[in-house]
Amino acid sequence: MEGKRRKETISRSRRAQLQFPMDRIERFFREGNVSQRLSASAPVFFASVLEFVTANVLDLAGKEAHANGTRLITPEQLYRVVQNNEYLREFFKENGNSVVPETPRPEEQ
C-alpha cells in the first residue's frame, strides 16, 4: 500500500495572490496590541493596500528612470516621483497626519 501524499501547504498570501506576507502583517498587528479591534480580513486588506501603493510608486519610478535614460531606479528618482505626484506627496507627508483627500466626484446631471 502506497503512502498518501501530503497536500502541499499554501500560505494565505499565496491564496490571496499577494506578494506581501500577510502572516507577518498579522503578527505586527498582534504585537502592536491592535488585534482585538481588527477582523480576520484586516491583514489581507492591509497587505493588498501596501502592495498596490508599492506597485504604483515603482511603476512611476521606472518611468522616471526610463525618461532619464537609466535602467536602475535610484532613491533620488523615488523621491522625485513622490514629490511630483500630488496624492503620493500627501500620503507620505512627514508630519504623521497622512490623510489623502477625497477625489472629486463628477456632478450628477
Strand runs labelled E in 1-109: none
In sequence order, which residues have a C-beta less than 8 Å from that of residue 101 and are 6 or more positions away? 90
* Contacts of 72 by beta carbon, 8 Å cutoff, 6+ apart: 65
Cell of 54: 508599492
Q: What is the mean pLDDT of the chain?
A: 81
Instruction: Give the span between the Cα atoms of 15 and 6, in whole angstroms.
Output: 18
Q: Give the distance between the most distant pair of CA atoms in the chain.
A: 73
Domain ranges (residues) in the chain: 13-98
Least confident piece of the model among 37-41, 51-55, 66-70, 74-78:
37-41
State residue 67's pLDDT score. Answer: 92
What's the pLDDT at 62?
A: 93
**CATH 1.10.20.10 for domain 13-98:** yes
The per-residue pLDDT for range 41-68, each reduced to its tens digit, is 888 888 888 899 999 999 999 999 999 9
